[in-house]
Amino acid sequence: MMIATTPKPPYYAVIFTSIKTEDDRGYNVMSTKMVELAQKQEGFLGMETARNELGITVSYWSSLNAIQHWKLNLEHTEARENGRSTWYKQFKVRISKVERDYGFESMNL
């Protein structure tokens, strides 16, 4: 697991928070496919994800236009429909403009 390397701000973050149902038939295959597909989209900058009972995926994008193109991708639309009908009890999408970022990395790894 790695923290995404992002460019100097500004850029955008799409924060997808979810609670899954018990029915995860096909979920892992589709999730892997969506990551691979997103990485090929123009304007994609990186992604971070964590899941326990609550899942959080943050994807980073160069522009609102790039996010819109990702939303309109037909395979992504199919995944969203499966999410609504089968995989998620609840989800929320938030889109934010990143205006500042900073970090720390220990050299004692």
pLDDT tens digits for range 57-106: 999 999 999 999 999 999 999 999 999 999 999 999 999 999 999 999 88
CB 50 within 8 A of CB 98: no
Helices (H), 2-108: 27-40, 64-72, 74-82
In sequence order, the 6+-apart residues with CB closer than 8 A to the CB of 49 are 55, 56, 57, 58
Predicted pLDDT of residue 107: 86
Q: Write the burial class of residue 55 (CB in 10 Å: 0-12 exposed, 13-18 middle, 19+ buried).
A: middle
Looking only at the bridges linking them, the beta strands covering 11-20 and 88-98 are: antiparallel
Which tokens hold the place of 99?
A: 């205006």
Domains (range + CATH), the chain: 11-98 (3.30.70.100)
